[in-house]
Structure 1
Amino acid sequence: MMDALARIISETIEPNALAVDRDGTFPHAAIEALGRAGLLGLISAKGAGGMGEGLRAAAWAVERVGEACGSTGMVLCMHYCAAAVIEQHGPWATRQEIAAGRHLSTLAFSEVGSRSHFWAPVSTAKLVDGSDSIRLDADKSWATSAGQVDSYVWSSRSLASPTKSTLWLVPGKAPGLTYPAPFDGLGLRGNSSSPIQARNVLVPRTAMLGPDGGGFDIMMGNVLPHFQVLSSSCFLGIMDAATKKAAAHVAKTRLSHLSQSLADLATIRAYLARMRLKTDMVRGLLRDTLDAMEEGREDTQLRVLEVKAGAAEMATEVTELAMRVCGGAAFRKEAGLERHFRDARAASVMSPTTDLLYDFIGKAAAGMPLFE
Structure 2
Amino acid sequence: MSNLSNVTATANKASVEELSVVDIAKTLAPAIAARAGMLDAEERFADENYALLKQAGLVEAAVPSELGGRGAEVPELAEMLRTLAQACGSTALAFSMHTHQVAIPAWRWRHQKVEAVAPLLKRVASERIILLSSGGSDWIGGSGTAEKVEGGYRINARKAFTSGAEAGTILMTGAIHEGADGARTVVHFGVPMAAAEVRVEETWHTLGMRGTASNDVIIDGLFVPDASVAFSRRAGEWHPLFQVIATIAFPLIYAVYLGVAERARDIAVDLVRKRPPADHLLCLAGRMDTALKAARIAHGSMLEAVARNAPSAETVNDVMIGRTLVARHAIETTELAMELAGGAGFYRSHGLERCFRDVQGARYHPLQPSQQARYAGAMALGQSVAEIY
Residue 282 (structure 2) aligned to one of 269, 273, 282: 269
Q: Offset of 1:363 from its aligned partner?
A: 2.2
Q: In structure 1, how many angstroms separate the alpha carbons of the residues matched to 2:356 and 2:291? A: 15
- Work out the CA distance in 2 between the residues paired with 1:76 and 1:181: 19
Alignment pair present for 1:102 and 2:123: no
8 A Cα contact 1:107 1:152, kept in partner: yes
Structure 1 residue aligned with 2:162: 143
What is the distance in 1 between the residues matched to 2:364 and 2:38?
24
Q: Which string of whole-angstrom CA distances, capped at 9 and with x for unpartnered residues, describes residues 70-115 of structure 1?
A: 101111111112223454476644322312462111211444xxxx
- Helix, strand or coil for the counterpart of 1:173? coil
Q: Offset at 1:337?
A: 0.4
Q: For 1:219 and 1:149, locate their aligned partners in 2 and report how far apart those are by CA, in whole Å.
A: 23
Instruction: State the SS of the aligned residue for 1:41.
Output: coil
Query: 1:114 maps to which residue?
Result: none
- For residue 226 of structure 1, what is the amino acid of its counterpart? I
Distance 1:106 1:226 in 2: 16
- Map 1:45-124 onto structure 2 (within 5 A): 45-87=64-106, 88=108, 92-100=118-126, 102-111=128-137, 118-124=139-145
The corresponding residue for 2:186 is: 165
Match of 2:268 in 1: 246
Matched, 1:192 2:213: yes
Can you list the C-alpha shifts for 1:335-357, whole angstroms capped at 9, x where unaligned? 01000000011111223323322
Q: Which residue is 2:111 aligned to? A: none
Identity %: 22
Matched, 1:223 2:270: no
Residues 292/139 of structure 1: CA separation in 2 closer, same or farther (3 Å cut): closer
CA distance in 2, matches of 1:71, 1:24: 10
Q: Is this contact kept in 2: 1:170–1:207, CA < 8 A?
A: no
Q: What is the aligned length? A: 354
Give the conservation status (yes or no) of the 8 Å contact 2:74–2:103: no
Which deviates further from its counterpart, 336-345 or 166-175?
166-175
User: What one-letter code is carried by the residue in structure 2 that aligns with 1:102?
Assistant: R
2:65 is the counterpart of 1:41: no
TM-fit CA distance, 1:361: 2.2
| Cross-structure match for 1:6 | 26
5+ residue gaps in structure 2? 1-19, 109-113
CA distance in 2, matches of 1:242, 1:174: 41
Query: Aligned residue for 2:305?
Result: 292
1:328 equivalenced with 2:343 (yes/no)? yes
Whichever residue aligns with residue 225 of structure 1, its letter is: T
Q: Is the 8 A contact 2:294 2:326 kept in 1?
A: no
1:282 to 295, 312, 329: 295
Q: Which residue of 2 aligns with 1:20?
A: 39
Partners of 2:302 and 2:323 within 8 A in 1: no
Q: Would the alpha carbon gap of residues 86 and 200 (structure 1) be closer, same or farther in structure 2, given more than 3 Å must change?
A: farther
User: Matches of 1:172 and 1:85 in 2, distance apart?
Assistant: 20
Instruction: Using the TM superposition, give the Cα deviation of residue 5 of structure 1 relative to its aligned residue in structure 2, in angstroms.
Output: 1.6
Task: For 1:320 and 1:314, locate their aligned partners in 2 and report how far apart those are by CA, in whole Å.
Answer: 10
CA shift, 1:197, in A, is: 2.0
| 1-structure distance, mates of 2:23, 2:103 | 24
Checking the alignment, whether the CA contact within 8 Å between 1:35 and 1:101 is kept in structure 2 is: no
TM-score between both structures, scaled by the size of structure 1: 0.88
Conserved 8 A contact 1:34-1:101: no
Q: 1-side partners of 2:371 and 2:250: how far apart?
A: 13
Could you tell me how far 1:67 is from its partner in structure 2? 1.5
Look up the equivalent residue of 2:184 and give its one-letter code.
T
* Matched residue type, 1:176: E
Shift of residue 9 of structure 1? 0.9
Q: Tell me, what secondary structure is at the counterpart of 2:195?
A: coil
In 2, distance between residues paired with 1:137 and 1:315? 37
For 1:236 and 1:163, the matched residues in 2 are separated by 37
Alpha-carbon distance between aligned partners in 2 of 1:138 and 1:296, rounded to the nearest angstrom: 34
Instruction: Report the alpha carbon displacement of residue 226 of structure 1 after superposing the two structures with TM.
Output: 2.4
Structure 2 contact 60–69 (Cα < 8 Å) conserved: yes
- Separation in 2, partners of 1:295, 1:13: 34
Give distance in 2, aligned partners of 1:97 and 1:214. 29
RMSD: 2.3
**Deviation at residue 248 of structure 1 after TM alignment:** 1.1
- CA contact 1:110–1:121 (8 Å) conserved in 2: no
Counterpart contact for 2:134–2:159, Cα < 8 Å = yes
Q: In structure 1, what is the Cα distance between the partners aligned to 2:173 and 2:104? A: 11
162 and 201 in structure 1: CA distance in 2 versus 1, 3 angstrom threshold: farther
Which secondary structure state, in structure 1, belongs to the residue aligned with residue 184 of structure 2?
Answer: coil
> Which residues of structure 1 form unaligned runs of 5+?
112-116, 255-260
| TM-score, normalising length: structure 2 | 0.84
Alignment partner, residue 343 of structure 1: 358
